Chain A
Amino acid sequence: MADYGEHYQLLRATGTNVIAISVDPPKRSEALRRELRLPFLILCDTERLVVRGWDIYNAREHGGIAKPAVFLLDANQTVRYLSVDSVASRVPASEIVRIASVVVPAARRKIYIPTPGDIFRAVRASLRR
């Protein structure tokens, strides 16, 4: 998750947004978002409807959780790339940046204009390295 937070600006530069999803309730998700200073939304699938429906449900651990998975959707909501892992590993964010810059048709990208907050976060992230 932190990896994607650090690569968020590079993904936004391709016109791509990031949305995280887990089965954690909102309060816990917000605590994680603040702890890792994640600049993107976290959605809360507490009923396991999406993870079950999308067949990325790991029923064996912690009462049922999501498998680590990454989907890249274009602006028409069509899947352009997917990676589902069975354990804890996940495709690195840098690889998703590379894929997004190639796979997402330029015609479907929206022009991204960074906000002052985006610039501040990018500078802060670069200073922490």
Chain B
Amino acid sequence: MVLDKIPKVGQLAPDFELPDSSGTPQRLSSLASQGPVVLLFYRGYW
């Protein structure tokens, strides 16, 4: 991923693919195509 700035309001969010907690790959564009999405980044459980 070649990005150095946070996506701003009005900009297209860069696509990515990450595994979910069951290990299944999930692509942002696929999830967003189903409707609006809140992306919630959190610090982690440690």
Q: Which residues of A contact B (CB under 8 A)?
A: 1, 4, 11, 14-24, 26-33, 41-45, 49-56, 58, 61-62, 65-82, 84, 88, 90, 96, 100, 104, 108-110
Contacts and interface: CB of A to CB of B under 8 A. Distances in A.
Interface of B: 1-16, 18-23, 26, 28-29, 31-46
Nearest to A42: B21
Chain B interface main SS type: loop
Nearest to B26: A43
A22 B45 contact: yes
B36 A15 contact: yes
Nearest to A109: B35
Contacts of A32: 45
A16 B35 contact: yes
A102 to B, nearest CB: 12
A30 B31 contact: no
Nearest to A33: B21
A56 B38 CA distance: 16
B38 A1 contact: no
B7 A71 contact: yes
